[in-house]
Structure 1
């Protein structure tokens, strides 16, 4: 291996690592706020990439119908909860309509816009608008009633949600893979490296989103509320911060990050209905490097995973996944010895 090949591999690794960093940050966010190890994070990636692919073909993506079904189930759950609490009928109806309003509006817009084949950037924005609400709705239906359950129970629920979303992905998009067009087709030379416009977009969007997340948690009231919930759920409740609202917001943010990651990675690789699992799992490996608690370490871990995958594919392409996932074992051993803990009660 000479310097030129090493530079190309390093660029490829850092590019993939930038996407894994976004998924790792979302994983750390969800675990910190809700104690959920959200295995299906990668499904948001696949749904984002494949929804855009369907819009490119002029077809109404299956995610539209899935969004409407989830919104309907969430509205029924809200109504049932209000009925059991003996709330006024007018308030029950208002809560149900509030749950349905955005999904129905964006679903109708997607049905109208799909055959008209909008420009790529407009379709990307519509994709984000369709996939982002999945996070809050999935939390409402699958996790909210179990918010105080043990981390093991929440992990089991995540496994079930993963299998459900994977099966639905096969139903919505079929077994065929899709590769989306690049958002910027220019190419630039930097010494031995050839930078594509899409690579620069990945870097720019990843850095911008990380900075925006930092500003959100440091400067906004909602961000400080999420930080308080992550530090002490009971204390946050006593201070008037709703753990339910915090959970819905964190899942919505995770869905947005996942869908955006799907848009970024779609032009660089062929995405299948089940591709999200491996992509999300690499983000999870990076989050484990950070102990599921540190955002800066998650970023460093993601870049490490990207580089390990890139160089591993050069030396032993058939075993690159094995190399990446085996790297988690010494990290788990080190953290187990460094931070021993008793049995959870």
Structure 2
């Protein structure tokens, strides 16, 4: 291996690592706020990429019908909850409006816009609007009633949600894979390296989003409320911070990050309905490196995973996934020795 090949592999690894960093940050965010190890984070990636691909073909994406089904189930849950607690009809109606308004409006816009061939950037924004509400709805349907359950129970629920989303993804999107067009087709040369416009976009958006997340948590009242929930859920409740509201917001942010990652990675690889699992799992490896607690370490871990995958694919392409996922073993051992296990109460 000479320097030019090493540079190409490093650039490819850092590009993938930037995507994994976003997923790792979302995983750390969800665990910190809700104690949920969210295995299906990669499904948001696949949904984002496939939604944009179907919009490109002029078809109404399956995301529309999937979103309406979830919104309908959440609305039924609202009615059942209102009847059980004997809420006033007006209060139930307001809750139904809050549940259904965004999914119905966004879905209607998507059905109207799909055959009209909007520009790529407009379709990308519509994709984000379609996939982002999934986070709130999934949290409400699968996790909200179990918010105080143990981490193990929440993990088991995550496994179930993952299999459900993969199966429903096959139903709503089909088995065909798609590769999206690049957002910027320019190519630049830097010595032996050929840098594409899509690579620059990936780095730029990843850095911008990480900075925005930092400012959100450090400078805004809502971000500080999420941090308070992450540090002490009971204390946050006593201070008037809704743990359910924090969970819904955290899952909404995770869905947005996942959908955005899907838009970024779509032009670089063919995405299928089940492609998100491996992509999300690599973000999870980076999050484990950070102990599911540190955002800077999650970023470092993600870049390391990207580089390990890139160089591993060069030396042994058939075993690149084995190499990446085997790297989690020494990290787990180190974490186990550094942070001895204590019984959960």
| Smaller-chain TM-score bracket | over 0.9
Give 1:25's aligned residue. Answer: 25
1:130-166 deviation per Cα after TM superposition (whole angstroms, max 9, x unaligned): 0000000000000000000000000000000000100
Give 1:186's aligned residue. Answer: 186
Alignment of 1:151-162 (within 5 A): 151-162=151-162
Confirm whether residue 141 of structure 1 aligns to residue 115 of structure 2: no
Alignment of 1:160-309 (within 5 A): 160-309=160-309
* Structure 1 stretches of 4+ moved >4 Å: none
Q: Give, in whole Å, the separation in 2 of the partners of 1:47 and 1:155.
A: 22
Q: Give, in whole Å, the separation in 2 of the partners of 1:168 and 1:115.
A: 24
Q: Give, in whole Å, the separation in 1 of the partners of 2:62 and 2:70.
A: 12
Q: Number of aligned pairs?
A: 345
- Cα offset, 1:80, TM superposition: 1.5
3-state DSSP of counterpart to 1:188: strand
- Unaligned runs of 5+ residues in structure 2 are none
- Cα offset, 1:344, TM superposition: 2.2
3-state DSSP of counterpart to 1:175: coil
3-state DSSP of counterpart to 1:195: strand
3-state DSSP of counterpart to 2:188: strand
> 25-34 vs 170-179, which deviates more?
170-179
- Cα offset, 1:14, TM superposition: 0.2
Q: Give, in whole Å, the separation in 2 of the partners of 1:15 and 1:296.
A: 17
Q: Give, in whole Å, the separation in 1 of the partners of 2:210 and 2:97.
A: 34
Q: Give, in whole Å, the separation in 1 of the partners of 2:338 and 2:209.
A: 32
Q: Give, in whole Å, the separation in 2 of the partners of 1:253 and 1:90.
A: 29
1:208-238 deviation per Cα after TM superposition (whole angstroms, max 9, x unaligned): 0000000100111110000000000000000
Give 1:96's aligned residue. Answer: 96
- Cα offset, 1:343, TM superposition: 2.5
Q: Give, in whole Å, the separation in 2 of the partners of 1:302 and 1:225.
A: 26
- Cα offset, 1:92, TM superposition: 0.7
Give 2:54's aligned residue. Answer: 54
Aligned alpha-carbon RMSD (Å): 0.6
Give 1:10's aligned residue. Answer: 10
Give 2:34's aligned residue. Answer: 34
What's the TM-score, normalizing by structure 2? 0.99
- Cα offset, 1:324, TM superposition: 0.2
Give 2:334's aligned residue. Answer: 334
Q: Give, in whole Å, the separation in 1 of the partners of 2:83 and 2:173.
A: 37
Confirm whether residue 313 of structure 1 aligns to residue 338 of structure 2: no
Q: Give, in whole Å, the separation in 2 of the partners of 1:343 and 1:326.
A: 27
3-state DSSP of counterpart to 2:20: helix
- Unaligned runs of 5+ residues in structure 1 are none
- Cα offset, 1:342, TM superposition: 2.2
What's the TM-score, normalizing by structure 1? 0.99
Q: Give, in whole Å, the separation in 2 of the partners of 1:338 and 1:109.
A: 51
- Cα offset, 1:173, TM superposition: 1.6
1:82-132 deviation per Cα after TM superposition (whole angstroms, max 9, x unaligned): 222211111111111111011000000000000111000000000000000
- Cα offset, 1:172, TM superposition: 1.5
Give 1:325's aligned residue. Answer: 325
Q: Give, in whole Å, the separation in 2 of the partners of 1:243 and 1:294.
A: 21
Q: Give, in whole Å, the separation in 2 of the partners of 1:111 and 1:217.
A: 36
1:172-230 deviation per Cα after TM superposition (whole angstroms, max 9, x unaligned): 22111100000000000011100000000000000000000001001111100000000
